[in-house]
Amino acid sequence: MKALKVANLTAGYGESEILRNVSVELNDAEIVSIIGPNGAGKSTLLKAVFGILRPRSGSVELYGEEITGLSPDRIVRRGISYVPQVDNVFPSLTVEENLEMGAYIRSDDSRPRLREVYDLLPVLQERNNEKVSRLSGGQRQMVAIGRALMLNPRVLLLDEPTASLAPILVEMVFEKILAINRSGVAIMLVEQNARETLKISHRGYVLAGGEKRFEDTGESLLKNDDVGRLYLGGEG
């Protein structure tokens, strides 16, 4: 089943056209990575899917329902959560307060979901009463992801979750992304750490110059000589 279907999407800012006729898909319970050089339009794609940026043309469907151009608050209610690269936590609040903020639109008791998020990301329970400003970069990313999971999304959009993290923290973040996916959440992931991202992805897309250049399984993209030479910093 198609969780997300993005068809012929064109989007940009002001007079600048960043994405041109890009089509990507995310299947149910799948991890799909979006890789490519800086300025390729990767983050723009996520923003257009989530309604932060209104597409100029094309369509976005969530489980067969068109959501093109809906506002982020309406898209959230339909089952998509989004974790931006920056400004994704409240540093002055505790870990638990951040998670509670993530449940702001829930009308039911969010405590059972809070326990589920703690089970999935135990480091958050260990630090639940600590202010987020005191946490490491990797732990802050876990808070941001945990907050997005409080709404029990069907689809999770992650924009550069390992940016500026030490290698050991990068590994931790990828392990948690896999655990979240195994819990049944479909994940679309934008990453500069392309090689490691493709290793955990069922499929991947390469964007360059605002256009889709390659698409294949994560394993096949890793073995593709052209992808390796142009986008992975080496051969193969």
* 214-224 per-position pLDDT tens digit: 999 999 999 99
**Among the residues of the chain, which ranges form H helices?**
42-50, 72-77, 95-102, 111-120, 122-126, 137-149, 167-182, 194-200, 218-223, 225-231
Q: How far is CA 137 from the centre of its chain?
A: 17
Binned at pLDDT 50, 70 and 90, residue 167 comes out as: confident
CA distance 200 to 44: 22
pTM: 0.93
Of 157, 227, 165, 168, residue with least CA distance to 194: 227
| Residue 233, pLDDT score | 67
Rg of the chain on CA atoms, in Å:
17
Of 138, 120, 112, residue with least CA distance to 179: 120
| Residue 217, pLDDT score | 97
In order of start, what are the domains of the chain with their CATH numbers? 2-90+154-231 (3.40.50.300)
Q: Which residues pair with 82 in a beta bridge?
A: 157
CA distance 156 to 76: 10
Tens of pLDDT, residues 93-107: 999 999 999 998 887
* Mean pLDDT to the nearest integer, 62-90: 94
Token pair, residue 111, equals 């405590």
Token pair, residue 115, equals 């326990």
Mean pLDDT (the chain, rounded):
93
| Residue 235, pLDDT score | 39
Higher pLDDT, 234 or 11: 11
Binned at pLDDT 50, 70 and 90, residue 47 comes out as: very high
